[in-house]
Amino acid sequence: MRDNRVKRALAAGRPSFGTMVFEFSTTGYSRVAAQAGAEFVCFDMEHTGWSMETIRMLMATTRATDLVPLVRVPADDYDLIARALDCGALGVMVPMVESEEQARHVVSCTRYPPAGRRGFGLLYGDEYENGDLVATMAKANREIMVIAQIETRTGVENVERIAAVNGVDCVWIGHFDLTSSLGIPGRFTEPAFTEAVDRVVAAANAADKAAGIMAGSVEDARRQLATGFRAIAYSDLGLYEGALRLALKTLREGAGR
């Protein structure tokens, strides 16, 4: 099993940058992202409707790169988490984490006994340590990454306990859902939201964990870094739309339109 360089970077206090994928479930996406310099790619199952078969294909193609492959599962169900890992993910992002108990459950689903409850399935060949099952399971427990999404008022109220759970590597703000939960959908400059952001970042720092978020632009990403976020991703849709809009605007201006 390969080393999880993103998990190690975040644990060492360094930032890590990548991309979240919602639309482009193609065999070449990870190669392009890796060539662009991304360190991780997180494929979304929560909002895309992608099946585990799609995720299996995406994990297989991502393994041909040096990217760390992650999957955002739709919920904290054991079968969703364990199957994503069995497909080759080096970590999971779990939405709507609201309590210490839920965070402990998520971590348990990602760990082989005695550290957790993950069942042993048919793993990909390069996950074996010289055919040693015990070494394989121990390394998987060390390298698998857990990202707990804080997306509700309740999650913010419990974020200190969530971040402190052993095995949670990152607390990640789902900014649209969090503003909706706070009663201010899409209003990211409201004090209620900025105060929640500050609390999540402070909780992550206090627990020696990373705070993560999705950025909408380079300027936005710089602001997030200054705020204290260390795991930052751009979405495939945002990147494509932004690049196409800029290219077409430039072309039209050059053509006098």
Catalytic residue, from 2, 3, 13, 47: name it: 47
Q: Give yes or no for a contact between 73 and 93, defined as CB atoms under 8 angstroms apart.
A: yes
CA–CA separation, 98 and 113 (whole Å): 25
HSE at residue 22, side-chain half, CA atoms within 13 A, is: 12
Rounded CA gap, 115 and 178, in Å?
Answer: 31
Tell me the C-alpha distance between 206 and 225, whole Å.
Answer: 17
175 is catalytic: no
Instruction: Report the candidate in 216, 255, 246, 97 with the shortest Cα–Cα distance to residue 168.
Output: 97
Beta pairing partners, 231? 16, 212
Give CA separation, 235 vs 22, 26, 27, 130, 177, in Å: 7, 15, 17, 37, 16
3-state helix, strand, coil split of the chain in percent (to 5) is 45, 15, 35
Measured in residues, the chain has a length of 257
Q: Are strands 40-44 and 91-94 parallel, antiparallel or unpaired?
A: unpaired
Amino acid at position 55, single letter: I
Catalytic residue annotation? 47
